[in-house]
Amino acid sequence: MASRAMKFPVLLALFFVLGSLCGCAHGPGAPATSGRVVVLTGASSGFGRGVALQLASRGDRLVLAARRTELLESLTRECEQRGGRAVAVTTDVADAAQVARLAEVARREFGRIDVWINNAGVGAIGRFDETPLRDHDRIIDVNVKGVIHGSHVALRQFRQQGHGVLINVSSVTGRTAFAYQASYSASKHAVRALGAAIHEELRANGERGIEICTIFPYAADTPWWPNAANYTGQSPRMILIDPPGKVIAAIVRATTHPRREISVGWKAKVLHVFQRVTPTLTEWAGGKIAHDQFVIEPPPAPTGSGNLHEPGPIGGIDGGVREKIKFEDAAREPDGLRDGG
């Protein structure tokens, strides 16, 4: 037991050391292109909203998709104020017919699709068998079938045009599974496999004008957290949570500089290295971190299905998770420590 207890702090220390070696600095930004036609799912909040606003500032033409019509229409107006053109299309990506309609609107309004970004995603936190089966089903419907639906219509359009960039947003859980996020982890592994398989097909057929890119963010402070289904009975959190801007910048850059797989930030890069070099230790540490952050550390919170079956109430780009964690940690400290005594 003592040797196992020693491994956890040692692993965290290695994370920090490798982080400095992996490099948190990014290269120069992508050139300011304009006029591209970009379809973006999950646009109403979080990464999607941030990406839409940055692309609009470059003068791109955007087809914005999400379930929340009012937020989409507000975002459309803001994008146009920034110099882009935008169309809002209320879409549940789990419905193949709605995704086909999304592509049709893009073609009708702008004549082509240059970039398709599958960003929509939902999740649940809790013990696998205590999470309702209908919630597991819904996660797969949105995170896997939704990405398949979007990728399918995008690839058909790209092949007609002879060019296009498909960007699928996975997660670090698409490489390293995390306890209490079983279906979410499974769905993000599927997103990675889908991108790899499509990439192989394109390479085998010599189709060099079409790019496939899968993005792997670390946990980021977006409304995903307060909107997620939660069956832990606690308020979920994560250590070293990233600001959303880091991931937004990576997605925007990928629209002009796509790579097959992009890990965002040093924590995602280090997790990738550790998963390949020492998977058993990485999975043990990940399980301990998840148990501490989802079950042990947070204060009590109500359970429920979040935004899985109905759109969630929380919009914006930032989820307020970092501030919430600071408040919760301060509330647990003894008065003397809190006052600096």
**Which amino acids are annotated catalytic?**
184
One-letter amino acid of 293:
Q
Give, in degrees to the nearest 5, the angle at Cα 244 between 309 and 332.
Answer: 85
Per DSSP, the three-state class of 146 is helix
In degrees rounded to 5, what are phi and psi of residue 214? -115, 130
Q: Would the CA dihedral through 270, 273, 276, 278 be positive or negative?
A: negative
Token pair 């230790």: residue = 281
One-letter amino acid of 110:
F
Greatest CA span in the chain, whole angstroms?
Answer: 69
Cα–Cα distance, 85 to 78 (Å, whole number)? 10
Cα–Cα distance, 294 to 232 (Å, whole number)? 7
Looking at the DSSP bridge assignments, the partners of residue 210 are: 164
